[in-house]
Chain A
Amino acid sequence: MSAAPAPSPPRAVTASAPATHDAAGPPSRWVRLRRSRWWRHRAAYLMLLPGLVWFAIYKYAPMYGVVIAFKDYNLGLGIVGSPWADPWYKYFEQFFSSPYFVPLLRNTFLISIYKIIWGTIPPLLLALLLNECRRTWLRRWVQTLSYMPHFLSWVIVFGITVAFLSQSTGLVNRTLESLGGDPIGFLTSNDWFRSVLVGADAWKDLGWGAIIYLAAMIGIDPQRYEAARVDGASRLQQIWHVTLPGIRTVVILLFVLRLGHILEAGFEQVYIFYNVQVYPVADIIDTWVFRTGLESLNFSLAAAVGLFKAMIGLVLIVVANRLAKRWDGQLW
């Protein structure tokens, strides 16, 4: 019942300001509390309580836990008891000067950028096709089928990938061999692995990504097509001059917002797909943090790298949101 704190003056919206000018006059503390807006909403605060406790424990307490990035964390001594690292930036320095710093950053950015490109253009094209389709039943079927893979887990998608690309038994390699070629170890080759990751991602989210573009296209005023037709525009010209300009804002917005998450190259997918042979091209910040922290038990170093990533991520997301808002206002 910590939900109803000390009474506050009726106008103070920013809450939690305790009543400094304590009551000496007639209305007692209790009466004032019962009259306050806080008390009126006590049931609402009671509802909020479980969720807020959860956020405090599982979201905000770990934010305090990041101090281990600046400590020599020792499992026995705990977060509070562990000694501070000697220069406080010891683990950051260790990471920046290590040989894996550049490859990790490169892999994270490359995988992410390819995923953004292949997660934008094909869905956009699919949305255009769906928008041009005049047969409602076909459109509905294609939509339903095409966004089904989005709900499959990465393990299932990995299983499908193995069925096609396994060096020994995969369909693609059997076909290559029957055509006289040599089998390719797609899943173990440093030349192919990133393409496999990006391709699987593009397949999984092709239909799902198209939904939002299609919704934007449906929102375009039909009169604009009418006007274009009167001017003698062909179907392709209508796409070029009406449909594409009509969804430009949405496309830019989504693109910018995805750029804000560029450090999220997809831990789960990479972890499920990769193996030791492809670490040079596949290891991203998140997989490295996982192995360093939970397998090598180097908690402080892993936490430092995680913090480094989270800080850059925060800046990117804030900038991306600002940009998105600016465009939003300008074009609509």
Chain B
Amino acid sequence: MGRPAVVTGREDRIVNTIVNTLLVLVAVMAVFPLLFVVSASLTPYSEVLRNGGYVVIPSEFTLDAYRQLLDRPEIPRAFGVTVFITVVGTAVNMVLTTLLAYPLSRKDLPGRSVVLFALLFTMMFGAGLIPTYLIVKSTGLLDTIWAMIIPNAIWVFNVLIMKTFFENLPIELIESARIDGAGEFRILLRIVLPLSVPVMLTLGLFYAVGHWNEFFNAIIYIRDQDLMPLQVVVRNLLAQSQSMENVEAAVPTVTVQMAAVVVAAIPMIAIYPFIQRHFQKGVLLGSVKG
């Protein structure tokens, strides 16, 4: 794919050098901020004081900030909440999304277009924050962990991606199974799902990232501080000193703040190298048919 590399003269070499240099700069721009945060979290607090702020490369590294951070009871608890909503939430997402996408991928299903329109319409028009809040409240989810799982259990966009994928599976396999007398649930489990591992992985990852980054539903539906997910707790830590810009109040926690950011980011970054291929596939899947 792409264009054939043609070996030619000086102009080409100059262009190549400029292109490669700029690309390296882009890569540095993407990575340096994160490395800087990690470095800031490992800097001894005394060095931050002496310097008057964060340093790029501290003279020595210490884990003090992480110790202080993990001594706060809210961090391990919030970590647990986030792991729970990521695991259980993604499972709920995938089951409901698959159960919608598979029947909708069957073009002979009576009423299919009506259902599809009902789903698509919610992408264009939403009732808004307040009416949704009142409904979530009346279904009894307020201040429970399920408020971060149920109200966004299905993303229409992901249903459409999965539906498109199912539509492109070889129909003969499904038809012949049906002739052999297999029921729909059996066909879904035994034939369709084994053929759909790539799309399942991609969408599962999209959902999981959404849950790991959970913030929105928590600040709307949760008041109980013990139920707050990691992102909300970290944001509160960051806000604490930012509102009092005076140095004495701010400094005692600045390295702890950075440690909190790293803790919230690390699981994501640790698995990123293994899963990034699937994400890229996902965005292209989505763009094929919106």
Contacts and interface: CB of A to CB of B under 8 A. Distances in A.
A215 interface: yes
Interface string A55-84: 101111111111010000000000100000
Interface string B194-234: 00000000000000010011011001100000000001101
Contacts, number: 298
B23 A129 contact: yes
A30 interface: no
Contacts of A289: 128-130
Nearest to A238: B3
B268 interface: yes
Nearest to B153: A54
Contact of B53 (A38, A50, A174): A174
A314 to B, nearest CB: 5
Contacts of A310: 125-128
A171 B133 CA distance: 40
B29 interface: yes
A55 B133 contact: no
A55 B118 contact: yes
A279 interface: no
A212 to B, nearest CB: 6
A39 B174 CA distance: 19
B254 interface: yes
B181 interface: no
B11 interface: yes
B124 A167 contact: no
B63 interface: no
Nearest to A298: B130
Contacts of B126: 59, 62, 310
A138 interface: yes
A309 B127 CA distance: 10
Contacts of B243: 275
A255 interface: no
B51 interface: yes
Contact of A47 (B27, B34, B184): B184
A160 B33 CA distance: 6
A299 B134 contact: yes
A13 interface: yes
Interface residues of A, number: 107
B283 A208 contact: yes
Interface stretch (B64-72, B83-91, B258-266): B258-266
A129 B25 CA distance: 11
B7 to A, nearest CB: 10
A159 B245 contact: no
By Cβ-Cβ distance, the 10 closest A-B pairs, closest first, are: A306-B128, A65-B131, A159-B261, A62-B127, A43-B184, A153-B213, A51-B100, A44-B103, A169-B53, A62-B131
Given A152-B268, A159-B37, A163-B33, 9 more contacts: A15-B110, A44-B184, A62-B128, A132-B15, A147-B276, A159-B260, A163-B54, A289-B130, A314-B124
Interface of A: 13-16, 37-38, 41, 43-45, 47-48, 50-52, 54-55, 57-66, 68, 79, 126, 129-135, 138-139, 141-149, 151-156, 158-160, 162-164, 166-171, 173-174, 177, 185, 187-188, 203, 206-208, 211-212, 215, 218, 222, 225, 229, 234-236, 267-268, 271-272, 275, 286, 289-290, 293-294, 299, 302-303, 306-307, 309-310, 313-314, 317-318
28 contacts: A48-B100, A50-B99, A51-B99, A61-B135, A62-B128, A63-B127, A133-B16, A133-B23, A134-B5, A144-B273, A145-B30, A151-B209, A156-B265, A159-B37, A159-B257, A163-B54, A164-B33, A168-B53, A171-B36, A203-B30, A206-B26, A206-B30, A225-B3, A236-B15, A299-B130, A303-B128, A306-B131, A309-B128
